Structure formats: structure tokens, C-alpha cells
Amino acid sequence: MATLTRDEAQTRARLLDVHRYTIDLDLSDAAAPAGSGTFRSRTTVEFTARQTGDTFAELLPARLHHAELDGTPLDPAALHDGRLPLTALTPGPHRLTVDADMAYSNTGEGMHRFTDPEDGRTYLYSMCCMSEAPRVYAAFDQPDLKAVFDLTVTAPPGWTVLGNGTATREAGPPTATGERWRCATTPPISTYLMAVAAGPWHTVRTRHAGLPFALHVRQSLAEHLDKDAEEILDLTRRAYDRYHTLFTEPYPFDSYDQAFVPEFNAGAMENPGLVLFRDEFIHRSAVTDTQRQTRGVVIAHEMAHMWFGNLVTLRWWDDIWLNESFAEYMGYQVLDDTTAFRPWTEFSVSRKSWGYDADQRPSTHPVAPEPDAVPDTASAWLNFDGISYAKGASALRQLVTWLGQDAFLAGINGHFTRHRFGNATLADFLDSLARATERDVHDWADRWLRTTGPDTLTPLDDEAHPAGGGPGTEPGRPGGWLLHIRHTGSRPHRIAVGGYDTTGRPVGEPFLLDLDTPDGGSPEPVTVPRPGPRPDLLVLNDGDLSYTKVRLDPHSWHTARHTLAALPDPLTRAVVWTAARDMVRDAELAPAAFLDAVRAQLPAETDTALAEGVLAFARTQIADRYLDDTDTPDAPDAPGTPGTPGTPGTPGAGQAGHAPPGPDGSRRTAALRTLHATAQELLDRAAAHPGGPALRLAAARTLIATATAAETGTLRRWWHAGTVPGGPELDPELRWQLLHRLAVLGATDADEIRAEEDRDPGATGKEGAARCRAALPDPAAKAAAFDAMFSPEDRLSAYLFTATAQGFWHPEQRRLLQPYLPRYFAHLPELAARRGHALTEAACRHAFPRGFTDHRTLRLGEECLAGEDRTPTLRRHLGDQLDDLRRALRVRSSERAAAHS
């Protein structure tokens, strides 16, 4: 399909006003085993042309039966590349009618069809964002041509149909083809927000504030929804009520359905009145409190879109941040306001790192890119990333800190009222804020939203800055000291600065500090006089109010390594851990020093989100990528040797002793054993903590993920016992995780995987089995997995592709996998051209050979990108993987240099 450009959309918007879509979908044979693979879609679009002109409608049919404009048939052969020309339009009203067969999808785009392997029932749902509506119905597919929607659906008997408006089954017995459903007419919405879901759903209904609320899942998840339904509905009600205290505009639609659907690519989609979630949010197995919290954040996030995104919609995709940053911020803040969860801690240690990482790659972009930076829908897809979500939400949090909540809310409420059921731009949003405050929000936006990269704040000690005093009393300043901060970057920041002693106790209250270097930064540090002795640990951006990397001075890092777990606020601990993480990624702190801190401090951690975030970084980045196990240092320090603080900015600075190699000479194995021991101690200590079950589960997952060949006997004992000693029972999720690790280590076989698949016959079991089969260190298993992913038959759904990719590459299997390196890069462009955005992203993210941190992999990837006709999605996501690989190589090089210096 031809990609819609911004210029084409603007031209069409000047020509047309679109009033109504009347859509009739015939899904009656969707559940038939020998179904056609298509559904019938009949669309009538009522619109007005403002002047004489030519335009087109988008449509991607399997077969176009008939199309007519104002009663005059159109030539079906004129449909080309997804565009149906409409020529010589005259000023005035028009009616376009299209009758077509449309293909079902297995990639989560268009009309996705899923047959549950557990019970054979079939379910359908649409995903029209951002340019997939023409796979479902004929449309003028751009966000600023909003219209009302009337939808009717013919579905198999016994099914339930859901839509943007309340759906009701028409009276009378089923027809020969099925039952007819009609959805209430919507207010004006954009084409990408039209939604339908159909199937034999299990439903839990209630009413709140006079509106029908409902939850829907496939039948095989019914018992799991019933277990969680009250929690989900309680969170939904809390969010709804909170938004009605914050916003003056009431909820703008007639019902609120939340459907948890299979094989959904995104976390969720904010369709008006019918939010779709991936059904992993309906938990089949034990979960941590962080997972429950994340589900709550997503629920609140999607509801925020009902105002920002649905009531007021962006005009073009350069303003996607207006949708996503706002919903991201509100999701976390509303959950923080209305529940006992502490979501900003997870945001700081995990979600925000997504933004920092994306913002330091060559593919970075401003939160609000210039219009010409998003010239078409293909490029717009690339901005659904950590910048538009996490960085944008952080910017809004800083805006609220700087502007004040009252002014912020006054501005956005004026914005909702002014653009109700319409479209708006960044300029419109800023004008609304400017009406509510005397502060210069336009300048703030230029410096925060139009710039790239994170700022960095570094505290300087007496060695780094001659005027500094280091710990204790500042020379020449009786009873006080000077805080020196180097600010690299150009954004204004309002931050809190916290001080702590060697036991982790606060030294006074954190104080607010405004930092501003409008000229793009200054070599001279900001100096702030402070009373009393200098704290042993200085934490810049305490409370994580701003978006900026922060550094720990050498004495603060030394203190943190011994007191981090004792800091009273988990958000403070998150800021310190994130600072250490960023220092590792920037080659300012040795990976082994981070591991030493993990071993010393993490077993006493009581916040599950913190424990999970730190362990995930240590496991997937430090152990798998940053430790060079091909070049072991000549004289490693003994295990547990305390580190010596270094100077930030010096390669290898702040490092503790280098991780000694394991028995096989691998420093990666040694790191895995360090993390394994850490997880075991965390599990043992968690028994005495109120949040123990969640911490024990997080620890058990890490114990499994860090097991080495020496622990296969232990894993086997757990497998046969059905439990991790002192921890949780092996429910389906943990069983698949444990079996996967056994497969990686060569301690299981295809027969055992097949037996577990028979034990867990649903979709998750199919994915677990695919992951395990691909992980077997067997030439035939690897060949079958690679062929399943990249053969032109495209047998795998997006989820089964991802599961297979997750099982394929492992550092333990480098010798076996060497021949697949060139094959991966040779096949990737063909897959990207053939299978579209979702599969390309999965192939770059999950199928990238992460176990190979070497220059050969980098060279092969660069040669792949240098080829012609690479899709934008491939260029972006493969380019990001290669940049992460370059960073890992820099960290390794820096560590080797420090080891031999």
C-alpha cells in the first residue's frame, strides 16, 4: 500500500469534510474451519467537497466487488496500491460506496483472527492504528478527517460483538448466515480509532457513574478474569473518578468496554469506548506487585486517551507525543493519586531508562519533532518509542513541577473545551497553557520539546573543582560547604537535591534548586552555598522530578555501595541505581563495580520494581553484553574485594575488582553466579518482609534465568519437586521459564517439551514450546526454528515468531549459532519487505543476535543497512540494535584498557 504523506493529507483535508461512515461487516464464517480467510466489508462514506478537485480513498481488499461514487460505478481496475481514485469532484455533498472482501490477519494488523488452541474457539478484533483501517473498511485514512461511525456486524450465533458504541443484538432469530449486531452511533472520531471485536467472549459487567462498564476475555481465560475482575474494575472506577475531578469535560462516550485480546502487538489501544489490551494482563500464574501495578498504569493510561487523543485528536502524526506523553504521565500520576502503589519508582528505574536509551542513539528525535521530520505514516510509526512515551511523560512531570498543577490543569481543560471532538496541534496546546499562566511556556517548549538528548548533571568534588571541599566542612566556609554542579545541556531544570550520611539517613530535607544554562551549557559549574557539613551521599534530582542523567561523585558512589539499600525512599534508591546504570553504559563505571553493588545491596531491597529493574539490567546487559569473556584480565581481584572510587569521566572509573572468570574461563559465567547468589539471598530475606511473595517470585525468576551448566542438577530437582525451595510453586509461567533455561543448557529434549505442551495446550503453551524448541542446542532444532521465522511461507503469527526468536540466540551456543549470523542479515530485508511493520520490529528486537558482541556482527549489520530499498522500520530498529552493539563494544574496550593500565 502506498504510504500517505503529510502533504497529501493536508491537500485532502483542504478539499474534504467527512461526515459519516456506515460500515457493515459480515464475519459470519469466521469460525468455520474451512472458512475463506476473508470477510465482507461494505462501506458508505458521506462527505462534502469544498471545491472542484481530485482525491482518493484508501482500501486494501482481497477482492473489490463494487465501488460507486454518487451512484456512478467506479472501475475496480483503477484501485492501485491501496488507493481508489475519486476524480473531478464537484463542490457539495457526495457519497462513496464500496463492497469488498478483506483478508484476515495473523500479525495483529487490520482484522486479526485467532483460534484458541485450547478449545478451538475463534476470536476477531480490529487494529486500525495508524494506517491499517483500509484493511477493514474503505476510508479517508488520516486523523484530521473525523466523522461519526455507524457499524453493523453479522457474526456467528452465540458470539458477542463489541464496538466504539454500545452494541446490541437485533431482535429475531439468527439468519442463515448469523446474528446481526448494531453499534450505537459514535461522536466524531478519527479513522484509526474505529474498533470492533467479536467472538464467544466471557464477560463481566457492571455499571459506574451511570455508564455500562465491562471486561471481556476469551473463554479459556474466564477463571483468570473472574479472579482479577474486581481489582481491574476497582482500578477502572478509581481512574474514571479521578479524571472527573481533574477534567472539566465529562467522559465523552456512551460505555467503557475493556477487552483483553490474544496476540495483540501493543500493550493496549485506546479505541473510544472499546479499549483493547494484550491478554497477558489477565494473569494465569503468580505475578509480582510490579506486574499488577503496571496493569493499573496501563488501564489509567488508556482512559486518559479518551480525552487526550480521542476527544481532542492530533492533526498529524508529528504530534503523537500529545497523545502518548500525556497518557503516560497521567497513567502513572493517577495510579499514584488513587492507590497504594508507588508507580513512579518503577517509572524511574525501568520505564525512564527506555527513554534515556532511545534519546542517546543516532535515531533520537525531539519529543515534538518538526513537521517535516514526519513526512509520512511510515516514518510516524518510528516515533512510538521511549522518547514519545517516557521522555515526554518526564517532560510533562517537569512542566507540572515548574508551572504548578493548578495552571497545568487550567490549561489542558481550556484545551479540551476549545477543541472538543476536533483536532489540535502543539501550537494549540501551548496557546492553551499560555492562557493559564504568565510563564513563557513557548520558550519552555522550545527548549524541552524541540531538542534531543538528555542533559547531564554532575556534582564535583575538591579534586574535580579546586573550589570544592569534598566531604565535611568547606575550607574557608566555617559551618558550610559549596555544592558545585556541572550542567551539560541547555534545558532548565527544577530538581530536588538530597543528602544522606553513611548509614543512609537523610541529612536535612531535600531542597529545590533551579538550574538553567540557556546558552547550551557552560564550562563553569553552578555553585550553591549550603549550611552544615557536606553529606556523604549527594543525590541530584532526588525524587526524579526532571528528565536528566545524573552522576555520582566518587565519594557518593563509595557511600552508595555500602548504604544504598538503607536509603528510606525507594524513589531515591531508584535515582541512585539509574545513575550507576548510566555510568556503566557511558563507560564511567566498570560493569564489575555495578555487580559488586548489586551483590552487596540488592538482597536487602524491599521494593519489587527496583529489584526487578536492577536485576534485569545486570542479567541482560552486563552479563550478556558488557563483560568481555574472550579477554579475561591478567590479575583479577578476589571475589568481594571492595572497589576503589574513581573519577567520573575516566574509563573504568569507580570500578571495583574485575569479575573473576568462572571455571570455564568465562567472566559471564562468574557474573551469572554473582547474580544467582544475590537472588538466593534476596529470596531468603524476603520471607521476613510484608512484600515477601512478590520479592520471592522476582528472586525465583532470576535464579532460573542465571542458572549455569553447573546448576542443571538443581534446576532438575526444582522441576521434579514442582517448586523453588523457599519460594513459589512452579505454576505454568515458571515451568516454561525453567524448561527454557534447561533447553538453553542442553538439559532437556523435544519429547519433554512436547509433554509440557500437552500439559499446557493453550496459546501460551504453544509459545512456550516454540521458545524452548528454538533454544535447544541441536543443529536440527536451530535449522527448523530459523526456517520457521524466515521462510517465505510466513507460517508464524507475530507472537509465535517472537517466541521462536526469543529462544534462538544464546551466548552459551555461540559456536553452534555462528553460521546463522550472515543468514540473519541476509534474510532480514526480505522479511521486512514482505511482512510489514510489526514483524519487522519483532525481527530486529527479538531475533537480533544479541549473544554476539563482536565487530563481525557489527560489520554484517552495517552492510545489511547499507543495502538499497530498506524499509523505514528496518532502518530504524536494526540501526538501534547496532548502536547498542557499538555501545557494548565501547564498554568492553574501556574495561580492557582499565584492566591493563
Q: Catalytic site residues?
A: 302
**Region label for 229, one of left (φ > 0), alpha (ψ between -120 and 50) or beta (otherwise):** alpha
List the one residue out of 332, 351, 354 whose CA is nearest residue 341.
332
Long-range contacts of range 659-668, CB-CB < 8 Å, 24 or more positions apart? 659/591, 659/592, 659/595, 659/627, 660/636, 661/629, 661/632, 661/636, 662/708, 663/710, 665/629, 665/632, 666/629, 667/627, 667/628, 667/629, 667/632, 668/623, 668/624, 668/627, 668/629, 668/811
At 310, give phi and psi (nearest 5°).
-105, -50
What are the start-end ranges of the H helices in 627-749?
667-686, 692-705, 712-721, 732-744
C-alpha to C-alpha distance for 653 and 528, rounded to whole angstroms: 26
- Cell readout for 460 is 564535583
Q: In what order do the strands lie in the sheet with 511-515?
A: 511-515, 493-500, 537-540
C-alpha to C-alpha distance for 79 and 84, rounded to whole angstroms: 5
- Say if residues 126 and 43 touch (Cβ distance below 8 Å): no
190: CB partners within 8 A, 6+ apart: 142, 143, 144, 145, 146, 313
Helix, strand or coil, per DSSP, at residue 497:
strand
Strand partners, 500: 506, 537
- Cell readout for 362 is 543516532
- Say if residues 220 and 282 touch (Cβ distance below 8 Å): no
* Sign of torsion over alpha carbons 758, 763, 768, 774: positive
- Cell readout for 494 is 527544577
Strand partners, 268: 277
Helix, strand or coil, per DSSP, at residue 639:
coil
C-alpha to C-alpha distance for 87 and 65, rounded to whole angstroms: 20
- Residue owning grid cell 568481555: 628
Helix, strand or coil, per DSSP, at residue 492:
coil
Q: Measured between alpha carbons, how far is residue 191 from residues 35, 45, 592 in Å?
A: 28, 12, 51
Write out 47-96 in H/E/C secondary structure: EEECCCEEEEEECCCCEEEEEEECCEECCHHHCECCEEEEEEECCEEEEE
Cα atoms in the 13 Å half-sphere on the side-chain side of 274: 25
Residue 72, exposed/middle/buried by CB under 10 A (0-12, 13-18, 19+)?
A: exposed
Strand partners, 160: 199
Helix, strand or coil, per DSSP, at residue 895:
helix
DSSP, residue by residue, 848-866: S-TT--SHHHHHHHHHHHT
C-alpha to C-alpha distance for 792 and 721, rounded to whole angstroms: 43
110-115 and 72-73 as β-strands: parallel, antiparallel, unpaired? Answer: unpaired
- Say if residues 184 and 165 touch (Cβ distance below 8 Å): yes
The distance from CA 50 to its chain's CA centroid, rounded to whole angstroms, is: 41
The H or E element spanning position 453 is: none
